[in-house]
């Protein structure tokens, strides 16, 4: 396989790596620009507070019925009522909050349509703190009303969110390095070998980040979601964001396969550009300019020694009268 074939062999994993990086970029751009509806729809988790911000505070009897219907026993109706009243009086709540990798967005809900109005400034190692966002971080009354499970969940969520951010960042850097080194893979298999190593690391960190985000927000939805139902708060996992991050994993995985294939099967050497190296004792003939030479020219019919002259008994001439033939031309061969 020549250089052109090797370029074609390298082209496939190169494109797969670029596609994976694009998906990671989309994950990072989610919830960063309020004016772009496509980016606003890319979120890990969406918190719906419409029941609190728009519908007013529920009565204690309504809260009791709700807790009974959903089997929630970790909080009492009076505690929930006090928290809801505090949220109504002391905070500026939006209808929903969408959580991304670098920040969050908030907005209103009209006839079932989510309209993003504001997004936070991007921040490294971001995690969503509801009390801080809602302006209740200094409110001791609401802190005392919240159950102990809330603080435990937030502590774990903060630590895992930090690792998730680092994993995505490292994966993105490894993808860029993979593309740069991949240029040298066109020239040799050693370049493909080094590129394959970075491709494996890129895949591992992309998969680790995707697994972390999926498990993290699934657990938050399952544990905190049940608890927050008592306060009329619902959670929704972002399917678009999870689809983007897992598509990035798929592209990275296929990239590893094709980079490995380029090491094992794609060679940049051409068989027509190398001399035969005495394979099986074969004789290599070199082409000479187009000339003609007599057949047998340059060769001695009897080797390097001539036979001794024949002895004759009489004085007859040494000529063969039976086989002597004259030829009008001498045969030539094309060389």
**Which tops the pLDDT comparison, 130 or 320?**
130
On whether residue 326 sits in a domain, the answer given is no
On whether residue 288 sits in a domain, the answer given is no
Are 17 and 202 spatial neighbours (Cβ–Cβ below 8 Å)? yes
Assess whether pLDDT exceeds 90 at residue 224: no
Quick one: average pLDDT of 68-84?
Answer: 61
Cβ burial, residue 264 (10 Å; 0-12/13-18/19+) = exposed
Q: Measured between alpha carbons, how far is 280 from 292 in angstroms, rounded to an integer? A: 31
Rounded to 5°, angle at Cα 125 from 120 and 129: 55
On whether residue 149 sits in a domain, the answer given is yes
Are 76 and 142 spatial neighbours (Cβ–Cβ below 8 Å)? no
Give the confidence band of 89 by pLDDT, cuts at 50, 70, 90: low
Quick one: average pLDDT of 229-238?
Answer: 82
The pLDDT tens digits for 21-73 are 999 999 999 999 998 988 989 999 999 888 775 555 555 565 566 566 656 55
Among 85-89, 94-98, 285-289, name the one with the lowest average pLDDT. 285-289
- Candidates 169, 191, 91, 97; CA nearest to 131 is 91
Structural domain span for residue 220: 3-264
Assess whether pLDDT exceeds 70 at residue 210: yes
Rounded to the nearest 5 percent, the helix, strand and coil shares of the chain are 55, 10, 35
The pLDDT tens digits for 144-158 are 767 677 777 788 889
Assess whether pLDDT exceeds 50 at residue 277: no
On whether residue 313 sits in a domain, the answer given is no
On whether residue 54 sits in a domain, the answer given is yes
Determine the distance from the C-alpha atom of residue 264 to the mean position of all C-alpha atoms in its chain, rounded to a whole number.
21
| pLDDT on residue 68 | 63
Cα separations in angstroms, 234 against 48, 115, 238: 5, 17, 13
Domain count of the fold of the chain? 1
Cα separations in angstroms, 203 against 8, 50, 185: 22, 40, 18
Radius of gyration (C-alpha) of the chain in whole angstroms? 41
| pLDDT on residue 285 | 46
Assess whether pLDDT exceeds 90 at residue 303: no
Q: Measured between alpha carbons, how far is 259 from 184 in angstroms, rounded to an integer? A: 12
pTM higher than 0.85, yes or no?
no
On whether residue 233 sits in a domain, the answer given is yes
Task: Kindly tell me the sign of the dihedral angle through the C-alpha atoms of 198, 200, 201, 206.
Answer: positive
Cα separations in angstroms, 253 against 134, 200, 220, 307: 41, 8, 28, 79
Give the confidence band of 18 by pLDDT, cuts at 50, 70, 90: very high
| pLDDT on residue 207 | 98
On whether residue 70 sits in a domain, the answer given is yes
**Which tops the pLDDT comparison, 265 or 163?**
163
Q: Measured between alpha carbons, how far is 8 from 307 in angstroms, rounded to an integer? A: 66
On whether residue 29 sits in a domain, the answer given is yes
């Amino acid at each position: 396989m020549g250089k052109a074939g090797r370029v074609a062999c390298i082209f496939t994993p190169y494109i797969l790596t670029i596609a994976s990086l694009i998906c990671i970029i989309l994950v990072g751009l989610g919830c960063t620009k309020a004016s772009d509806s496509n980016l606003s729809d890319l979120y890990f988790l969406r918190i719906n507070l419409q029941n609190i911000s728009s519908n007013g505070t529920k009565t204690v009897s309504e809260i009791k019925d709700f807790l009974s219907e959903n089997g929630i026993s970790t909080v009492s109706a009076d505690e929930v009522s006090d928290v809801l009243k505090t949220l109504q009086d002391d905070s500026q709540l939006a209808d929903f909050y969408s959580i991304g990798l670098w920040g969050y967005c908030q907005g209103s809900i009209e006839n079932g349509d989510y309209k993003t109005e504001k997004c936070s400034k991007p921040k490294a190692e971001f995690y969503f703190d509801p009390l801080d966002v809602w302006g209740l971080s200094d409110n001791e009354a609401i802190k005392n009303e919240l159950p102990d499970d809330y603080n435990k969940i937030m502590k774990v969520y903060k630590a895992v969110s930090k690792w998730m951010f680092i994993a995505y960042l490292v994966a993105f850097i490894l993808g860029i390095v993979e593309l740069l080194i991949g240029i040298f893979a066109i020239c040799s298999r050693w370049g493909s070998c080094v590129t394959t190593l970075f491709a494996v690391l890129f895949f591992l960190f992309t998969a680790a980040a995707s697994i972390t985000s999926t498990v993290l927000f699934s657990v938050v939805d399952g544990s905190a979601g049940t608890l927050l139902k008592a306060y009329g708060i619902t959670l929704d996992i972002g399917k678009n964001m999870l689809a983007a991050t897992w598509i990035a994993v798929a592209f990275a995985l296929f990239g590893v396969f094709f980079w490995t294939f380029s090491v094992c099967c794609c060679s940049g050497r051409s068989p027509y550009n190398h001399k035969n190296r005495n394979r099986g004792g074969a004789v290599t003939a070199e082409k000479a300019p187009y000339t003609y030479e007599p057949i047998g020219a340059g060769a001695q019919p009897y080797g390097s020694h001539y036979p001794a002259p024949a002895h004759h008994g009489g004085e007859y001439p040494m000529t063969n009268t039976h086989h002597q033939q004259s030829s009008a031309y001498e045969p030539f061969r094309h060389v």
